Structure 1
Amino acid sequence: MAFYRLAGDEFVAIVELTTEDEVHNLCKQILSIINQPIIISNEKVMLEASIGISFYPDNGDTVDELLHHADTLMYQQKEIHHQQLDS
């Protein structure tokens, strides 16, 4: 697995796993780690993340298509999370 920073707070992970279930499990593990509280100067800080996934070739044949698909899914997840916070 390789991680790359795209811009700002957006990162890309390139993984070569055999099944979609493995990728979804990896995403759950990553979110579980990110969601752990961090103590900074005796203050508890909580981080949140949204993940969008693309599979080659199902979601695109080019890097741009794959990134666009993952980005779209990530923003959908952010919107769902914000709606849950508002209700």
Structure 2
Amino acid sequence: MTIDADLLDLLASHWAMLRPAIPEAARLGARWEQMSTAFVEREDGVAVAHAGVLWIPMVIDGEARPVAGVHAVCTAATHR
């Protein structure tokens, strides 16, 4: 599974360094689509908004607990 080109275009329109960073991270074993749960709004099949959720394992007071983080929240300029 790979990240869709239209979603990559949306993300790169906000964070230009993500375009080369996502494939480089995948080459190193950290695949975006496996690390993040994407919530994507599409219009006519094109990504116009994204919010990602990351699972972050943590130890709090000596106890392992799952924690979530929201990241890469963006909306196409035409849809703001």
What is the TM-score normalised by the length of structure 1?
Answer: 0.26
Tell me which of the two structures has the higher relative contact order, counting C-alpha pairs closer than 8 angstroms and 6 or more residues apart: 2
What is the TM-score normalised by the length of structure 2?
Answer: 0.27
Bigger strand share: 2
Bigger helix share: 1
